[in-house]
Amino acid sequence: MRNKRLYITGIIVIAFFLVACIHNEDPNKYISEIYCIVLDTLMEESQQLNKEMAFIAVDMTQVEELNEQENGEITTYLEDKYGVEVMLATYEELTDQGLYDPETSALDGVLLKINKIHSKTNHAVIEAEKYRAGDGAIGMEYTIHYKSRTWQVKEASMIWIS
């Protein structure tokens, strides 16, 4: 009887440790959620760049291509939060569309760009920038961690500012 209790207790302890180890999350499974967190945090930086913005453009040409659903999740999230049109576009595409104002030397909206992502289990480091004009831009590096079943910004560092 005593051996049976020890055996059952041992199985319970092993099961507990196995369940605790299962929570290693691959950032690539949650890439749209991670990008939403980073882009939203980036929008909160240098808020004067957001003043009277007509749109938010997102440029992710420097990182692995997302599928249509992931792109839609990102644009819908930003549209709902900021109440402006959100599009996937590069700076060149925005100027070609006439969304750059030569009188003010600025975009009519804000361009958010993901430059690099380095991901490992349970965390990612992402370099991103926010651009409104040549003298209105900021570059940031974010460290994102998976904690308490959600992705969270753990560190934010300014890389450059103009």
pTM of the model: 0.81
pLDDT at 141 over 90: yes
Q: Which CATH class is domain 25-161?
A: alpha beta
pLDDT at 21 over 50: no
How many CB atoms are closer than 10 A to CB 135?
9
DSSP one-letter string for 35-68: HHHHHHHHHHTTGGGGTT--EEEEE-TTSPPPPH
* CA–CA dist 130, 161 (Å, integer): 10
pLDDT tens digits for range 90-107: 999 999 999 998 888 899
pLDDT tens digits for range 34-90: 999 999 999 999 999 999 999 999 999 998 888 999 999 999 999 999 999 999 999
| In the chain, where the domains are located | 25-161
CB 107 within 8 A of CB 10: no
